[in-house]
Structure 1
């Protein structure tokens, strides 16, 4: 155990470094997706923006092609949310996440009462047979299942299959210019391979720590949604640290910690990024340790209902300190940046330069303008 306590700043720089947010990297997209144990993909454009902030000379076409040719897949995993992952991770992480998906189904206010006393094994079997006939939208799947179970809601029947069987969302959803329509297929049929029969939760934890550590047991559980991981973590060969409050943090032995004084440049990130969602104690990335939802409420906003054709969140000084959106008028695009703190002249220049690069990345052609609003506090 390292008894020297790690400050929130030290943990911030460790997180940013492992997330490739201190300095952009020249790495293959697939390698980065694998290192980060998937990219949060509830909003389809999110992974593209996440990689743009992490990689040099990055264009969306390569990632889009990997989604199209099944080199990467979209599926419900950690916290029962959609992630973009490699096929190996889809087939290995999915069985590990089954308790999370079970809990989501059985405690969901819209579905829990409907699935009670229902033969769910039969529903899943019928659902997979339907999806093997052809991929279907949740609505199509639910209506087809409703013919056999007319006393149950179609959307609940489809949701039960989504949570109890390994499904993927197939292209064109998730491609750069794809439609927003969700179409499900069986993961094993789509990938032509079976689910991993013996997935390792210890390996999953090591990978989490390599991308998000040092971290507590509670942090690991907040990231994946699983519970009661303490005994497993205690039995692993991990390095121990203490945070500023004396809580025990764990890390993979081979990982190094960067200098806490290393500069953290401003970064434009998508609305939801793994970096905001993967710790129980978020002090290392969100001011005052607020949850992402608390941060939105404290600033009087919810990004999901704000305007703009594209929008996201802003790191300044390594912390979540603002939001951004792109407004469109004909072929003109304006990036509006709203910091919640005073921005230094140096960071202002970076925001303007990065903002123009973001517009060129996202839209490639048109008239571009960047407007950085005066910093404010709520």
Structure 2
């Protein structure tokens, strides 16, 4: 009979594998590879994800990796923009291409693509990008010229889904928030060594295990992967969670001590921790899920207390506003305020911290002097 893993063991194990029980001394490139990819729809979020995980992380480190192509930005997991290692991208993209092709056929794009052969459109996009770099807007204009009467912006989006296109480092530079319409685009270099589905599962479990089939599918966007897990079963260790769901893990992977104390951590919107499983209760209680995922595909920035999501945060001008879901005990309030102060210093020197929330929520006596903030929004 499979061992049953308590929720707290799953929680602590996930935090350890995500470098959230103790900041690591590893470099940003190694951490990105371990996590497989960082959600990068908004340019600034990956910097904050690495700040939460790496001791003494500096924004310049990620900027340098993007500049020399060791980390790249493109459509990836779940058809959304992610940062991944340059070599990793070439291995993962072919495996994920069916997911991206499926997204390219979504009704959202239909006004521009109805009646078009999407393979032909992809070939046109390749032709336009061959040997040169175009801005996103420039690609849209040229596609609209090739396909009169159709929305070039939507056509360009479909090309980016169906063709491995890298966004230039400017798309991921720290600074303003929101998509950047003039992001530069270039064809990704063709590299040998496509990742197998089985190897992808092993990479996933190293960072997110123990986990089930539906967890992997929710994280990757891939479907019908039960057979992959079954083929790997002799090489994996099987468990059950308290609900009876079968979970898998690498045979030599270590489970964390469920009683291990963990620090307060502030996470960006769309963080891996919240999007790595179909069952998110190991870090996010079901009653709190609508507060973190309020609809329209949004996942708000959060903070962890004792390893679980305990509130959200946002920056509004000069204020970093922390919103606990329920009153914080004095000791916990002090820890949250201290980590919020460290986050504020990373965002902008002198950023002021304030607390909001439900009646009865204690506001810690903490926070620095006011200063201009980066205009952080909760996410899209």
Q: For the superposition of Structure 1 and Structure 2, which TM-score range results when normalised by the shorter chain?
A: 0.7 to 0.9
Aligned to 2:345: 360
Comparing 267-276 and 148-157, the one that deviates more: 148-157
Aligned length: 357
Give the aligned partner of residue 148 of structure 1: 146
Query: Does residue 206 of structure 1 match 2:202?
Result: yes
Could you tell me which residue of structure 2 aligns to residue 224 of structure 1? 220
Q: Aligned partners of 1:377, 1:227: CA distance in 2, in Å?
A: 45
Deviation at residue 147 of structure 1 after TM alignment: 1.5
CA contact (8 A) 1:334 1:369 kept: yes
Preserved contact between residue 92 and residue 194 of structure 2 (Cα < 8 Å): no
Matched, 1:296 2:281: no
- Map of 1:119-130 to 2, 5 A cutoff? 119-130=117-128
- Separation (CA, whole Å) in 2 of partners of 1:327 and 1:155: 30
Q: Is the 8 A contact 1:322 1:340 kept in 2?
A: yes
Matched, 1:322 2:311: yes
Task: Give the Cα–Cα distance (whole angstroms) in 2 for the partners of residues 376 and 248 of structure 1.
Answer: 41
State how far apart, in whole Å, the 1-side matches of 2:341 and 2:280 are: 30
Aligned partners of 1:265 and 1:347 also within 8 Å: no
Structure 2, gaps ≥5 residues long: 362-380
User: Aligned-pair RMSD on alpha carbons?
Assistant: 2.5
CA distance in 1, matches of 2:297, 2:360: 16
User: Which residue is equivalent to 2:319?
Assistant: 334
Deviations 1:91-120 (A, max 9, x none): 0111111111111111x2221364344233
Q: Tell me how far apart the structure 1 counterparts of residues 172 and 360 of structure 2 sit (CA, whole Å).
A: 35
Alpha-carbon distance between aligned partners in 2 of 1:312 and 1:119, rounded to the nearest angstrom: 39
| TM-aligned CA distance change 1:133 to 1:196, over 3 Å | closer
Alignment match, 2:370: none
Task: Kindly state the Cα deviation for residue 268 of structure 1 after the two structures are TM-superposed.
Answer: 0.7
Separation (CA, whole Å) in 2 of partners of 1:5 and 1:280: 18
Alignment of structure 1 residues 20-59 onto 2, 5 Å: 20-59=19-58
Gaps of 5+ in 1: 305-310
Question: Helix, strand or coil for the counterpart of 2:55?
Answer: coil
TM-score, with structure 1 as normaliser: 0.87
Structure 2 distance, partners of 1:303, 1:77, is 18
1:93 matched to 2:92? The reply is yes
- Report what 1:313 is aligned to: 302
8 Å CA contact 2:292–2:302 kept in 1: the answer is no
- Counterpart pick for 1:369 among 339, 347, 352: 352
- Note if 1:65 corresponds to 2:64: yes
Q: Distance in 2 between matches of 1:14 and 1:375?
A: 31
State the Cα deviation string for residues 25-56 of structure 1 (Å, max 9, x = none): 11111000000001111111111111111111
Residue equivalent to 2:377: none
Residues 267-318 of structure 1 show CA distances to partners (whole Å, capped at 9, x for unaligned) of: 111111011111111111110287x5674339xx9978xxxxxx82111221
Residue in structure 2 matched with residue 135 of structure 1 by the alignment: 133
Output the CA distance in 2 between the equivalents of 1:164 and 1:302.
Answer: 22
Q: Determine the C-alpha separation between the residues in 2 that align with 1:174 and 1:239.
A: 38
Task: Please list the CA deviations of residues 221-244 of structure 1 after superposition, one character each: whole Å capped at 9, or x if unmatched.
Answer: 000000000011111111100010
Q: Is the 8 A contact 2:205 2:249 kept in 1?
A: yes
With over 3 angstroms needed to count, the CA separation of the structure-2 counterparts of 1:96 and 1:294, relative to structure 1, is farther
Higher mean C-alpha deviation, range 232-241 or range 193-202: 193-202
Counterparts of 1:141 and 1:263, CA distance in 2: 51
Q: Secondary structure at the match of 1:186?
A: strand
Contact 1:303-1:312 within 8 A present in 2 as well: no
